[in-house]
Amino acid sequence: MTATIKLISPVDGRVYAERRCADATQIEQALTAAATAQAQWKRRPLSERAAFCSAVVDAMLAMKTDIVRELAWQMGRPVQFGAGELRGFEERARHMIAIAPEALAAIEPTPVSGFRRHIQRDPLGTVLVIAPWNYPYLTAVNTIIPALMAGNSVILKHASQTLLVGERFAEAMANANLPAGLFHNLLLDHRQTTDIIGSGRVQQVNFTGSVGAGEAMETAATGRFLGVGLELGGKDPAYVRADANLEHAVENLVDGSFFNSGQSCCAIERIYVDKTIYPAFIERFAALTRQYVLGNPLDEATTLGPLVTPAAADFVRGQIAEALAQGATALIEPTAFPVDEPGSAYLAPQVLIDVTHQMSVMREESFGPVVGIMPVEGDDEAIALMNDSEFGLSASIWTQDLAAAERLGNEIDTGTVFMNRCDYLDPALAWTGVKNSGRGVTLSRLGYEHLTRAKSFHLRHEI
Whether residues 154 and 252 fall in one domain = no
Q: How far apart are CA 263 and CA 267, in angstroms?
A: 7
Number of domains, the chain: 2
**Is 231 in the active site?**
yes
Whether residues 346 and 447 fall in one domain = no
Q: Is residue 270 part of a domain?
A: yes
**CATH number of the structural domain spanning residue 158:** 3.40.605.10
- DSSP percent split of the chain into helix, strand, coil, nearest 5: 40, 20, 35
Q: For residue 325, count other CB atoms closer than 10 A to its CB.
A: 9
**CATH number of the structural domain spanning residue 381:** 3.40.309.10
For 325, which DSSP code?
Answer: H
Q: How far apart are CA 384 and CA 388, in angstroms?
A: 6
pLDDT of residue 1: 56
Whether residues 280 and 304 fall in one domain = yes
E strands, 63-199, in order: 115-123, 126-131, 153-158, 183-185
Query: Which domain covers residue 292, as residue numbers?
Result: 236-426
pLDDT of residue 339: 80
Beta strand pairing call for 4-8 and 15-20: antiparallel
Residue 239 φ then ψ, to 5°: -125, 120
Whether residues 417 and 447 fall in one domain = no
Q: Is residue 432 part of a domain?
A: no
Q: How far apart are CA 222 and CA 450, in angstroms?
A: 18
pLDDT of residue 2: 74
pLDDT of residue 342: 84
- CA atoms within a 13 Å half-sphere pointing along the CA-CB vector of 41: 29
Whether residues 183 and 264 fall in one domain = no
Instruction: Report the helix count and the strand count for the chain, using DSSP H and E.
Output: 14, 19
Dihedral-angle region of residue 7 (phi above 0 means left; psi in -120 to 50 means alpha; beta otherwise): beta
Whether residues 148 and 274 fall in one domain = no
Determine the 3-state secondary structure of 390 from DSSP.
Answer: coil
**pLDDT (tens place) for every residue of the chain, 463 residues total:** 578 999 999 999 999 999 999 999 999 999 999 999 999 999 999 999 999 999 999 999 999 999 999 999 999 999 999 999 999 999 999 999 999 999 999 999 999 999 999 999 999 999 999 999 999 999 999 999 999 999 999 999 999 999 999 999 999 999 999 999 999 999 999 999 999 999 999 999 999 999 999 999 999 999 999 999 999 999 999 999 999 999 999 999 999 999 999 999 999 999 999 999 999 999 999 999 999 999 999 999 999 999 999 999 999 999 999 999 999 999 999 889 988 788 899 999 999 999 999 999 999 999 999 999 999 999 999 999 999 999 999 999 999 999 999 999 999 999 999 999 998 999 999 999 999 999 999 999 999 999 999 999 999 998 8
Q: Is residue 431 part of a domain?
A: no
Whether residues 211 and 291 fall in one domain = no
Question: Which is catalytic among the residues 70, 231, 269, 365?
Answer: 231
Whether residues 218 and 106 fall in one domain = yes
Residue 335 makes CB contacts below 8 A (sequence gap 6+) with none
Whether residues 141 and 219 fall in one domain = yes
